[in-house]
């Protein structure tokens, strides 16, 4: 079996998740304060890596660069799955 056929595992890193969560919240608020659509701007940043998608208001651009993009995506997915698991089945 090749490496491409095996599932890779990522380990949870609590401190990084907490930092990613705090940064996402701060950046979200800074984008809203400036009148941007935070979802579109964050998606643009996460897909491209271009920090120009993030406002410099409240140092949001500097903040978001403190955490790797894959860690931000992991935190967003963690929150999404937690929300799904806490909802009753439809």
- Tell me how far apart the alpha carbons of residues 14 and 90 are, in angstroms, rounded to a whole number: 31
Residue showing tokens 């056929």: 5
Confidence of residue 5 (pLDDT cuts 50, 70, 90): confident
Per residue in 7-41, pLDDT (tens digit) is 665 555 567 778 999 999 999 999 999 999 999 99
Provide DSSP, 26-81.
HHHHHHHHTT--HHHHHHHHHHH--GGGS--GGGHHHHHTTS-HHHHHHHHHHHHH
Q: pLDDT over 90 for what percent of the chain?
A: 76
Domain-wise residue ranges, the chain: 14-85
pTM confidence score = 0.79
């Amino acid at each position: 079996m090749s490496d491409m056929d095996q599932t890779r595992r990522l380990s949870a890193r609590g401190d990084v998740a907490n930092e990613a969560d705090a940064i996402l919240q701060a950046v979200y608020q800074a984008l809203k304060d400036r009148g941007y659509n935070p979802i579109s701007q964050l998606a643009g940043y996460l897909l491209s890596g271009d920090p120009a998608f993030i406002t410099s208001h409240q140092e949001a651009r500097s903040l978001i660069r403190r955490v790797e993009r894959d860690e931000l995506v992991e935190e967003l997915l963690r929150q999404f799955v937690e929300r799904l698991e806490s909802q009753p089945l439809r």
